Structure 1
Amino acid sequence: MNEDFGRWSSVLMFLKDRLLNMLCVLTIIGLACCLYLLEQYRYPGLIEPETIYYFILLAIFVYGVWLALDYMRMRYYYKQLREAIERSDELGAATLIQSAATGEQRLAARLLQDQHRAYLNELNQHKRQQEIHNHFVMQWVHHMKTPVSVVDLQVQEALRQPPDSEREWMELIGSVREETERLTRGLEMMLYTARLDKFELDVHIRKTSLQDLIRSAINAHKRLCIQHSIFPRVEGEAWVETDDKWMTFVLNQLISNAIKYSKNKSGAKTLQFQLQQHPDDSVQLCVTDAGIGIAAHDLPRIFDPFFTGENGRTTGESTGMGLYLAKQVCSRLGHTLQVESELGVGTTFTILFQTRGIHIMGSRQDSDNFVRLEGMD
C-alpha cells in the first residue's frame, strides 16, 4: 500500500512539475487547430475535419508517449528522493540520491553530497574537540587529586603532631603554598581551555608593551625562580598588537615549562627573554631556558594535545596540554610559535608578532562566524 502511494505521489509530482510544459503543448495544438480552421474558412473543402481530429489525437499521443518515457527515466530519482526524505534523520540519507537524470538534478545531487561531506567534516571536528576536552578533563582531575591529597596529608600530620619550631611551620606553609600554586595553575589552564572554544568573544587587541607583559609573568613565578636558582633576564623593548590576557597565558606556560624542566639541574640557571624588532615592523620574542632540553624525535609533536614525550614521563607533572593551548592561542592571535631545542642544553621558544597578524586573526574569526551562521540556517 505504501509503495503504491509512493508511486502515485511520484507521478503527481512529475506531472505537477510539467504543468507549464503541458500548457505550452496544448497552446501550440490549439494554435495549429485555429490555423486549420482559418484555412478551412478561406478555402472550403481544402482540409477535411477528420484531418484536424487526427492531428489532435496524434499530437496528444506523441506528447503522452514522451511524458511516459520521461517519467520512466525520472522514476528512480523520485524514488531515491522520497527514501532520502523518509530517512532524513540518518547521516547517510544524502548519499541515497544517485540516479539523477538531468543536468540540473546532477548538479543538485552533487551540491547535496558536497554539503553532506562538509557537514560530516564539521561534525567530526566537533567530535574530536569534544573527545580532547573530555580526555583533558579526566586527566586534569587526576592531576588535581595529587596536590589536594598532599595538602590533606600535611594538614592531618600537623593536627596529629603540630610543628615545634618556626622553621617547621614555615616549611609546612611553603609546602602547602606550593601545592595550592599547582592547583591554581591547573584551574587556570582549565579556565583558558573552556574560553578557547569562544575565543572571538573573549579577545581584545590593542598595542601592548611586550616587556611589561614579560615582567608581569616573571613576577608571578618569582618565588619558584628563586627557589630553584633560575635567573630571568629581559633584553630589548617592543610594542606589539596582541591581547595582553591571552599573551600572558602563553608566557606563563613557557615560564612554567622552563621552571619545570630546569629545577632538577644543579647550579644557577638562566631564563632569557630576547626582544628583536625587524625592519618590516614585526617583532620576535625568543624565550631560552637552560633546562634538560627536548629529544629531537619529540620536537615535531610537542604542540599536539596530550603529548608529553620523554620529559613529561620523567617528571610526571605534564598534562600535554600547555604547549598545545599556547600554540592554539598564538595561531588565533595571528602570531607564530616555533621551538628549537638541544637535549641537555636547553630550549628556545620563538614567538613572531607580524604586523599583518591581526588581519589573519580577523579573517579566521569571520570564517568561523560564517560557518556557524551557515550551520544555523
Structure 2
Amino acid sequence: MHDSGRGASILMFLKDRLLNMLCMLTVIGLACCLYLLEQYRYPGIIESETIYYFILLAVFVYGVWLLLDYLRMRYYYKQLREALKRSEEIGAVTLIQSAASGEQRLMARLLQDQHRAYLNELNQHKRQQEIHNHFVMQWVHHMKTPVSVVDLQAQEAIRQPPDNEQEWLALFHSVREENERLARGLEMMLYTARLDKFELDLHIRRTPLHELIRSTINAHKRLCIQYSIFPRVEGESWVETDEKWMTFVLNQLISNAIKYSKQKPGTKTLHFRLEELADGSVQLKVTDAGIGIASHDIPRIFDPFFTGENGRTTGESTGMGLYLAKQVCSRLGHTLQVESELGVGTTFTLHFQTRGIHIMDS
C-alpha cells in the first residue's frame, strides 16, 4: 500500500515535470547539434567522446535535480493524496501543510481561506436553521392557545347556549379576538419564511409614509378603541421603501404598543411623528404610553426569541416580532432604534436614508 502510494507520487511528479523534461532534452539536442556542426566545419577539433561526456553529464545533473526536487515535494504529494481520500470530510483541506513552492503555498492559502469562508457560511446557515426550527416550535405552541380557547368556547356554547343577545355578542367578540391572534401568528410565520428569499419579494418605490401609517392604524382600529388607545399622526413624508415589508414593520410596532399599553388604566396615546432632516433623510418616531422596557432588556430586544420581563409577564410574546422588524429594516437600508423609560413609554425611531442600499448608482 505504501509502495503504491509512493509510485503514485512519483508518477504525479513526473507528469508535472513532463514539459520541463522535454525542454531539457531539446536543449541537450540543440547543444549536440552545435557540437556536430563545429566538428563538421573543423574536423578533429572536437572529439566524439566529448559529446557523449556532455550528454551523460547533462542527464546526470538533471536527474540529480529531479531527485532533489521530488524529495522536496514528496510530503506535499502525500498530503494531497490523503486530502483527496478524505475529500468528503469538511476539514480535509487542512491536511495540506507541506507546500514547497510559492505557487503551492498560495494555493494552500487559497484553499484554507475558502475553507474558512465555507465554514462561516455553513455556521450561519445552521444558525438560521436553528432559529427557524425554534420559532416554528414556539409558534405552534402559541397557536395552540387560541385554538384551544375557541374550541372550549364552542363546546360551552353547545352545552349551554347564551341566553341573550349580550352573551352572544360577548362570545362572538371573544372568538374574533382569538381569530385575530391566529391571523397575526400566521402573518408572522409567512413573513419569516419570506425573509430567507427577501430579494425575490421586493418592490421598492416612492411611498407616502403618512398614508401607509394611517392605513396600518385602521387595521388595528378595533383594538385601539377597545383599550382606549388614541393614535395620532404628525407630519407627511415620502420615502423609498417596500410598502408591504414596511407595513409588516409598522404592524409589529403598533401591535407591541397595544399589547403593552392595554394593561395601563385610562386613555393612552400612540404618537407617530414624521420629520425631514437637514440631509434629506426622513425620521419616524413611534411613541406609545405603555409600561415601557426595563433598561437591562433594551440591548437585547432585537435578538431572536428574547421576550424580556414584559414578554414573560404578558405571556403573549414570541420574541420574534422586533427581531424580524430589525432584519427587514436592515435589508431595506433603514435603521431601527429604541428608547424607553419603564412605566412611562417606549419610542421606536426609524431612519430612512436618502439613498438606501437598494438604490443602484446610475
TM-score w.r.t. the length of structure 2 is: 0.98
- The superposition leaves residues 175-207 of structure 1 with CA deviations (integer Å, 9 ceiling, x where unpaired) of 110000000000000000000000000010111
Identical aligned residues as a percent: 84
Distance of 1:205 and 1:41 partners within structure 2: 85
The secondary structure found in structure 1 opposite 2:348 is strand
**Which residue pairs with 2:195 in the alignment?**
196
1:39 aligns with 2:38: yes
Runs of at least 5 residues in structure 1 that lack an aligned partner in the other structure: 364-377
Distance of 2:46 and 2:328 partners within structure 1: 87
Code of the residue aligned with 1:263 in structure 2: it is K
**Which residue pairs with 1:102 in the alignment?**
101
Shift of 1:362: 5.3
Distance of 1:31 and 1:304 partners within structure 2: 74
Code of the residue aligned with 2:108 in structure 1: it is A
**Which residue pairs with 2:358 in the alignment?**
361
- The superposition leaves residues 231-273 of structure 1 with CA deviations (integer Å, 9 ceiling, x where unpaired) of 0001011111111110000000000000000000011000000
The secondary structure found in structure 1 opposite 2:272 is strand
Distance of 1:245 and 1:316 partners within structure 2: 28
The secondary structure found in structure 1 opposite 2:62 is helix
TM-score w.r.t. the length of structure 1 is: 0.94
Code of the residue aligned with 2:116 in structure 1: it is R
Shift of 1:58: 1.0
Once the two structures are overlaid, the 10-residue window that deviates more, 39-48 or 231-240, is 39-48
Distance of 2:315 and 2:265 partners within structure 1: 19
The secondary structure found in structure 2 opposite 1:65 is helix
Shift of 1:217: 0.9
The CA RMSD measured in Å over matched residues stands at 1.0
**Which residue pairs with 1:277 in the alignment?**
276
Residues 205-354 of structure 1: pairs in structure 2 closer than 5 A: 205-354=204-353
Shift of 1:144: 0.4
Code of the residue aligned with 2:226 in structure 1: it is Q
Shift of 1:91: 0.2
**Which residue pairs with 2:161 in the alignment?**
162
Shift of 1:9: 1.9
The secondary structure found in structure 2 opposite 1:215 is helix
Shift of 1:30: 1.4
Distance of 2:38 and 2:253 partners within structure 1: 97
Shift of 1:107: 0.2
Distance of 1:46 and 1:333 partners within structure 2: 86
The secondary structure found in structure 1 opposite 2:290 is coil
Code of the residue aligned with 2:22 in structure 1: it is L
Code of the residue aligned with 1:59 in structure 2: it is A
The secondary structure found in structure 1 opposite 2:306 is coil
Distance of 2:111 and 2:329 partners within structure 1: 36
The secondary structure found in structure 1 opposite 2:280 is coil
Residues 63-82 of structure 1: pairs in structure 2 closer than 5 A: 63-82=62-81
**Which residue pairs with 1:367 in the alignment?**
none
The secondary structure found in structure 2 opposite 1:74 is helix
Code of the residue aligned with 1:159 in structure 2: it is I
**Which residue pairs with 1:146 in the alignment?**
145
1:59 aligns with 2:55: no
Distance of 1:98 and 1:246 partners within structure 2: 49
Once the two structures are overlaid, the 10-residue window that deviates more, 43-52 or 348-357, is 43-52
Code of the residue aligned with 1:163 in structure 2: it is P
Once the two structures are overlaid, the 10-residue window that deviates more, 293-302 or 10-19, is 10-19
Runs of at least 5 residues in structure 2 that lack an aligned partner in the other structure: none
Question: Which contiguous aligned blocks of 4+ residues in structure 1 show a shift greater than 6 angstroms?
Answer: none
Distance of 2:273 and 2:335 partners within structure 1: 16
Code of the residue aligned with 1:208 in structure 2: it is T
Distance of 1:41 and 1:245 partners within structure 2: 92
Once the two structures are overlaid, the 10-residue window that deviates more, 146-155 or 24-33, is 24-33
- The superposition leaves residues 139-188 of structure 1 with CA deviations (integer Å, 9 ceiling, x where unpaired) of 00000000000000000000000000111111110111000000000000
